Amino acid sequence: MRIALFLLGLTLVLTSPASARDYILYSRIGDVDADRVAERVVIYSSNPNPRKGKSVALAVQEKRGGQWRTVFREKSVDHEFHPENNNLAAQTGGMKTGLYIRKTDARYPDIFIVFTPNSGDFFLYRYNGSTYKLLDVGN
Ligand SMILES: [Ca+2]
């Protein structure tokens, strides 16, 4: 009985949607766990202004029953975005502020979050076969 309740609780936690207070700053669709089914990767914030991106969270969601359900959520992405510098990225062909899914030579693609264009201000996440891990943080 305890195991059943634990599994029920775990299921509820893993499938609960994001808080209604959350704003979606950026989202991308792509197969980030290489199972040939697309996930949605989302940057949530408690503030709709990316420049005031405190309490930002990264979430990976899978579509179940016609709705996106969060299967991973990282709350430690506490960082501000600087879209005011996107003109620099446009001039140099760099990546604008936001969220990217990049295919690499690795088995799983990179989830790349650019906070400030043309800088080392980024986070890099990647699936490792069981969960999503922060692999690199720029300066
Ligand atoms: Ca997938």
Domain ranges of the chain: 2-137
Q: Which of 3-12, 23-32, 82-91 has maximum average pLDDT?
A: 23-32
Query: Global pTM?
Result: 0.80
Radius of gyration of the chain (CA): 16
Per-residue pLDDT, 125: 96
Nearby residues of 5 by Cβ (< 8 Å), 6 or more positions away: none
**Average pLDDT for residues 132-137, to the nearest whole number?**
94
**CA 39 to ligand 1 center in whole angstroms:** 5
**CA 102 to ligand 1 center in whole angstroms:** 14
pLDDT over threshold 90, residue 31: yes
Q: Collect residues with CB below 5 Å from ion ligand 1.
A: 31, 33, 35, 37, 39
Give the model confidence (pLDDT) of 100-123 as tens digits.
Answer: 999 999 999 999 999 999 888 899
**CA 59 to ligand 1 center in whole angstroms:** 14
Under 8 Å between Cβ of 38 and 30: yes
Q: In what order do the strands lie in the sheet with 67-74?
A: 23-30, 39-45, 57-64, 67-74
